[in-house]
Amino acid sequence: MTENRPRGVMNPEHEQQTPTLEALLAAAARPTPFSAEAEVRAVVAFRAARQAGAPAAPTRPEDDWRPKSPGVEIRWIRTGIGALVAAAMLGGVAMASGTIPTPFGEPPLEPGPAPSVSSRQAEIPGEPEPPLTTGPGARIPGERPPAAKDDLAHCRAYESKEGRGGALDSTAWQRLEDAAGGPDAVAAYCARLLSEQPGKSSPQERPPKGEGGTIDAPPAGQQSGPDNGVARTRKPPAKQ
Amino acid sequence: MGKRGGDRRAQTYDGELGAAVERAQEGDEDAFAAAYRRVQPPLLGYLRGLVGDDAEDVASEAWLEIARDLGRFRGDGAGFRAWTASIARNRALDHLRRLKSRPRTTLFESELAELPARQDTAGEAFESISTEQALALIANLPRQQAEAVLLQTVIGLDGASAARVLGKRPGAVRSATHRGLKRLEQQLASLQPMRVTVSDSRALGEAR
């Protein structure tokens, strides 16, 4: 910042007579004295806040000043690639096992969310979305709408990062916030999603075939890549 | 700006601050007071540059919020400085909105009037400018430039954090800093040959 100093300041004669920019900045940065009374007020406020239960308040994006580690994004990319590979495998298996012909059948276990799966699915081809969310493998077999699968992944990241070094990237956080209905609701939303999820293993690590056929296969067929053409022909019944 | 030689000290400082904040988040009142004592002086300097003599009041408001929301904060010592600066800034902007009718420069006229014009040695020149005067000169910059300079020199934020606090792109903050420093140098140079009087400081205000 010193390379731009005007000639006058470079002139040693002048330098003796006027404060330099460095002197000015150093002076500005000198600690400003503060009153002990103000400190006491702050501590009293702190005590009051503790007693009011403030520590439980969730972290909003503007409160998160953890340094962004490049590792976080790399891990996300890896997760995405893994999901795509697993999806391709799942799709192939589903086709081979002949489960694809019933793409819009109700999933045997959880009938509730199924309709929204197909309507959501039908909307997606119209709007370009990142591969992580539209990629067939980014869906969890047979359990909930596609977005929920992403949320689940984001929740895992959110939970695992809580209290450690990383920060959830802002789009992921935004999705969670939208899905949960507000920043304050994210923790509860995630807790619910994660508790609904049996076991810790992610879907792409599960064996893609076997006894899971009745549970996993229909929705996997319904959502996997080769089958998207079918979904595309359906119009969404209503905007969500 | 102030980076030379100060890095290690800043790291130790931020390390200790981060530890204090962590203990404060667990409910340690002494740790909160320690964090306050570390953060308040630069925060006051920043606020002085933003709201002049109302800095202490605005800082008090900011600390109420900091104390209340401390449990939400995530980050280290440097992050805490940025977080608190961000909160203080919001309170300061609220304050400025409340007093919109009053021009900010008048807060500093008396201080500018006392800016020394002549010193015999470089050593004396170094001490010749008081913190108040320095902050007053910075405060007379256009606000974006003033804030960019204050956040980096007084609070000690890096460019990226300063940009986040200001809600601007780092490039914009960099150029605002650059222009601000340049203007400060010009002002210093133009102040130098003559004794500074009240009318000079007024001219300075008009030059914006």
Q: How many CB atoms lie within 10 A of CB B118?
A: 15
* Same-domain check for residues B117 and B171: yes
Q: Which of B102, B127, B142 is the last residue of a domain?
A: B102
A39·B45 Cβ contact <8 A: no
Number of separate domains in chain B:
2
Q: Contacts of residue A16 in chain B, CB cutoff 8 Å? A: 119-122, 125
- Tell me which long-range contacts A107-114 makes (C-beta under 8 A, separation of at least 24): A107/A142, A107/A143, A107/A215, A107/A218, A107/A219, A108/A142, A108/A214, A108/A215, A108/A218, A109/A142, A109/A143, A109/A215, A110/A142, A110/A143, A110/A144, A113/A143, A113/A144, A113/A145, A113/A148, A114/A219
**Mean pLDDT, residues B62-73:** 95
* Same-domain check for residues B119 and B188: yes
* Same-domain check for residues B126 and B189: yes
* Same-domain check for residues B94 and B7: yes
CATH of the domain at B79: 1.10.1740.10
> What per-residue confidence (pLDDT) applies to A155?
75
Q: Which of B76, B102, B128 is the last residue of a domain?
A: B102
Most B CBs within 10 Å, among A16, A24, A161, A164, to test the B interface: A24
| pLDDT tens-digit series, residues A181-231 | 777 777 888 788 777 766 544 444 444 444 444 444 444 444 444 444 444
B60·A42 Cβ contact <8 A: yes
**Mean pLDDT, residues B163-191:** 94
Number of H helices, E strands in chain A: 12, 0
Nearest CA in chain B to A8: B189
CATH of the domain at B153: 1.10.10.10
Q: Which of B102, B133, B168 is the last residue of a domain?
A: B102
* Same-domain check for residues B43 and B133: no
Structural domain of B17 = 1-102
* Same-domain check for residues B20 and B35: yes
**Mean pLDDT, residues B93-119:** 61
* Same-domain check for residues B78 and B112: no
* Same-domain check for residues B203 and B108: yes
* Same-domain check for residues B150 and B97: no
* Same-domain check for residues B15 and B72: yes
Specify the pTM.
0.53
* Same-domain check for residues B43 and B115: no
User: Which regions in chain A score pLDDT beneath 70?
Assistant: 1-18, 54-56, 69-81, 90-149, 161-168, 197-240
Does ipTM come in above 0.85? no
